[in-house]
């Protein structure tokens, strides 16, 4: 049934549960509006015949609709709307909250390509590799204009905004390849801003990312170019540490838990932070980015509004690196040594 509808509506294959849920909602909306449209059309046709003018002196009497007519006209569409909302809203909420343990991938759009950075530092251009059957959280930003990350097969579309992070997540069903588009007109080669999502068997993905990390380590040993804050080869966390040191963040922020001119970065990530307005926010990626771009907008309770803005001073990749650095400053819970195999940055508390 849904396969038939999918073909009738020219929809691409659905590569995740989320895609199937979106399709169900889509089919439901299309079918109910078609039925309602047909019913209105049918009624109009029946009335045309039944109440046609039968003679020269045939006059229509004035008709006043009854109250229950009015109630029906308002109530039925409203009921439909509420049903759509009841199906659609939970889907929307689910699509914005990655499950705990999702693997984080940083996505950066730029004219006219997509760059992906994986946990531990490896990155790739115009090709996003992910394991099948595991949740992947995308932290999306742009380094120039607004782009939009769009994977039709996953029914996934999220804007990429300069100086800000947006997030979304997905879990692909099975190994395969899917087209990625930019869905926000962004300049001359917008239509060529293509990338590919490669869903791999989980074992193959683990092997691939391990290989990438080893390659990185070797490149690091071969000495990174001094002076380049985002030296190719160093991990995001390392890059973030450099950026923070060079930009002078560490003059005001400590990383050891002690209070300085600004709050410490130790255990800052996902901390519940009380603001001077009394509001409490969770220090997630979006908050950390805002804190650098527009520090005056949210002042941490008990601190002065003295932090300068870094809008325009930090490039989006540098911001991503600092965010990763801050995220790495977690006091470890009791944990036995470095574990074997891939370690995914997880998102506790979600």
What is the binding site for ligand HEC (CB under 6 A)? 244, 247-249, 251-253, 261-263, 268, 273, 283, 288, 291-292, 295, 298-300, 303-307, 310, 322
Binding string, residues 168-187; x marks residues near Cu ion by CB under 5 A: --------------x---x-
193 or 209: CB nearest Cu ion: 193
Shortest distance in whole angstroms from residue 143 CB to ligand HEC: 17
Shortest distance in whole angstroms from residue 165 CB to Cu ion: 17
Q: Which does 186 bind (CB under 5 to 8 A by kind): ligand HEC, Cu ion, none?
A: Cu ion
Q: Which does 182 bind (CB under 5 to 8 A by kind): Cu ion, ligand HEC, none?
A: Cu ion
Closest CA to 316 of 109, 96, 105, 103: 109
> Do residues 269 and 326 lie in contact, with contact meaning Cβ atoms separated by under 8 Å?
yes
Q: Which does 147 bind (CB under 5 to 8 A by kind): Cu ion, ligand HEC, none?
A: Cu ion
Shortest distance in whole angstroms from residue 166 CB to Cu ion: 14
Q: Which does 165 bind (CB under 5 to 8 A by kind): ligand HEC, Cu ion, none?
A: none
Concatenated DSSP letters for 185-247?
Answer: --STTGGG--EEEEEE-HHHHHHHHHHHHHHHHHHHHT-PPTT-TT-TTS-HHHHHHHHHHHT
Strand partners, 16: 172
Give residues 72-111 in contact with Cu ion (rule: CB under 5 A). Answer: none
Which among 30-38, 146-154, 262-270, 336-344 is the span making contact with Cu ion, rule CB under 5 A? 146-154
Interface with Cu ion, residue 193, by CB under 5 A: yes
Q: Which does 218 bind (CB under 5 to 8 A by kind): ligand HEC, Cu ion, none?
A: none
102 or 182: CB nearest Cu ion: 182
24 or 328: CB nearest ligand HEC: 328
285: CB partners within 8 A, 6+ apart: 139, 165, 167, 323
Shortest distance in whole angstroms from residue 263 CB to ligand HEC: 3
Report the run of H or E that residue 114 belongs to, with start and end.
strand 113-117
> Do residues 143 and 132 lie in contact, with contact meaning Cβ atoms separated by under 8 Å?
no
77 or 248: CB nearest ligand HEC: 248
HSE (side-chain half, CA atoms, 13 Å) at 307: 26
Q: Which does 307 bind (CB under 5 to 8 A by kind): Cu ion, ligand HEC, none?
A: ligand HEC
Shortest distance in whole angstroms from residue 193 CB to Cu ion: 4
> Do residues 326 and 292 lie in contact, with contact meaning Cβ atoms separated by under 8 Å?
no
Q: Which does 305 bind (CB under 5 to 8 A by kind): ligand HEC, Cu ion, none?
A: ligand HEC
> Do residues 195 and 180 lie in contact, with contact meaning Cβ atoms separated by under 8 Å?
yes
Does residue 84 sit in helix, strand or coil?
A: helix
Sheet holding 147-151, edge to edge: 127-131, 195-200, 176-182, 147-151, 156-160
> Do residues 103 and 194 lie in contact, with contact meaning Cβ atoms separated by under 8 Å?
no
Residues in contact with Cu ion by the rule CB under 5 A: 147, 182, 186, 193
């Amino acid at each position: 049934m849904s396969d038939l509808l999918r073909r009738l509506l020219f929809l691409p294959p659905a590569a995740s549960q989320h895609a199937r849920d979106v399709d169900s909602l889509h089919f439901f909306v299309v079918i109910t509006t078609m039925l309602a449209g047909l019913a209105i059309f049918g009624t109009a046709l029946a009335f045309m015949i039944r109440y046609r003018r039968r003679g020269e002196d045939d006059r229509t009497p004035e008709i006043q609709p009854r109250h229950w007519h009015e109630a029906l006209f308002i109530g039925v569409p409203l009921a439909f709307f509420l049903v759509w909302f009841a199906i659609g809203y939970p889907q929307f909420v689910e699509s914005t909250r990655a499950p705990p343990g999702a693997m984080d991938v940083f996505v950066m759009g730029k004219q006219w390509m997509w760059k992906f950075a994986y946990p531990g530092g490896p990155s790739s251009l115009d090709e996003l590799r992910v394991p099948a059957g595991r949740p992947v959280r995308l932290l999306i930003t742009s380094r120039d204009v607004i782009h939009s990350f769009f994977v039709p097969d996953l029914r996934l579309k999220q804007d990429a905004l300069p100086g800000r992070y947006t997030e979304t997540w997905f879990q692909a069903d099975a190994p395969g390849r899917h087209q990625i588009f930019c869905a926000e007109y962004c300049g001359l080669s917008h239509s060529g801003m293509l990338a590919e999502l490669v869903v791999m068997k989980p074992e193959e993905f683990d092997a691939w990312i391990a290989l990438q990390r080893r390659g990185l380590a070797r490149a690091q040993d071969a000495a990174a170019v001094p002076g380049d804050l985002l030296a190719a080869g160093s991990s995001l966390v390392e890059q973030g540490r450099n950026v923070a040191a060079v930009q002078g963040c560490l003059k005001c922020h400590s990383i050891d838990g002690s209070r300085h001119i600004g709050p410490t970065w130790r255990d800052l990530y996902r901390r519940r932070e009380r603001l001077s307005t009394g509001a409490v926010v969770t220090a997630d990626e979006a908050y950390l980015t805002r804190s650098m771009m527009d520090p005056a907008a949210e002042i941490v309770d008990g601190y002065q509004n003295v932090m300068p803005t870094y809008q325009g001073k930090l490039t989006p990749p540098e911001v991503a690196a600092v965010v990763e650095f801050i995220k790495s400053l977690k006091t470890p819970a009791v944990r036995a040594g470095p574990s074997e195999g891939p370690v995914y940055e997880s998102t506790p508390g979600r």
